Chain A
Amino acid sequence: SQQGEEDPQALSIQEGENATMNCSYKTSINNLQWYRQNSGRGLVHLILIRSNEREKHSGRLRVTLDTSKKSSSLLITASRAADTASYFCATDPAVGDTGGFKTIFGAGTRLFVKA
């Protein structure tokens, strides 16, 4: 079973609107990251939020983390057609015996921004 699950699976909005994607996970984490993937390309790291942080901003991106609900959200404000991509959350589980290196990716949210 996957650690991170994004919701919705797909999202279609008009340019200028805000896009919100959610991620839920199952175990305690050290950090949660969001990545972006354009069609046919590799993933690109967008933003990281640590387990002791509740909100983080980067440009038009806003990430929140609620460790009590084991969930995170990614908000893209004033979306543009160029934001069309898949967005993945990735969690670094705080599991003692793994030694790290087990960042787990969700299945992603496909965002389509119509011009």
Chain B
Amino acid sequence: NAGVTQTPKFRVLKTGQSMTLLCAQDMNHEYMYWYRQDPGMGLRLIHYSVGEGTTAKGEVPDGYNVSRLKKQNFLLGLESAAPSQTSVYFCASSQTQEGYTFGSGTRLTVV
């Protein structure tokens, strides 16, 4: 019963470097989401997907790209990391809008 798995759990990047965060879910959920969590800000939606092969922008999409080539995977890419992208990133999945399942998060520091 893995649920939603995020890799890596921690990462330190230098400004300008790129990386990809991987999210995998084993619940056959249609919808997947990437959020970032910053102190005092709650969770903010970066991008989301309503099904395999689809993606859409959320509230704070700039500086990020996503892909959903397989239903179970949702990738978040940072092409050129900036210190403002230091945050904790959470992936979530759902079958409806009535309850999300979250991963355990990726703590990213950009120096």
Using a CB–CB distance below 8 Å, which chain A residues touch chain B?
2, 4, 30-31, 33, 35, 40-45, 48, 88, 90, 92, 99-108
Q: Who on chain B is nearest to A31 by CB?
A: B98
Segment at the interface with A among B11-19, B39-47, B65-73, B74-82: B39-47
Main secondary structure of the interface of B (DSSP, over half): strand
Q: In whole angstroms, what is the CA distance A80 to B62 when docked?
A: 41
Chain B 68-111 residues near chain A, CB threshold 8 A: 90, 92, 97-105
Chain B contact residue count (CB 8 A cutoff): 24
Are B97 and A44 in contact, CB atoms less than 8 angstroms apart? Answer: no
Are B104 and A41 in contact, CB atoms less than 8 angstroms apart? Answer: yes
The answer, yes or no, to whether B50 is at the interface (CB within 8 Å) is yes
Q: Who on chain A is nearest to B43 by CB?
A: A105
Q: In whole angstroms, what is the CA distance A100 to B58 when docked?
A: 12
Are A44 and B102 in contact, CB atoms less than 8 angstroms apart? Answer: yes
- Closest Cβ of chain B: how far from A21's Cβ, in Å? 14
Residues of B within 8 A of A108 (CB): 42
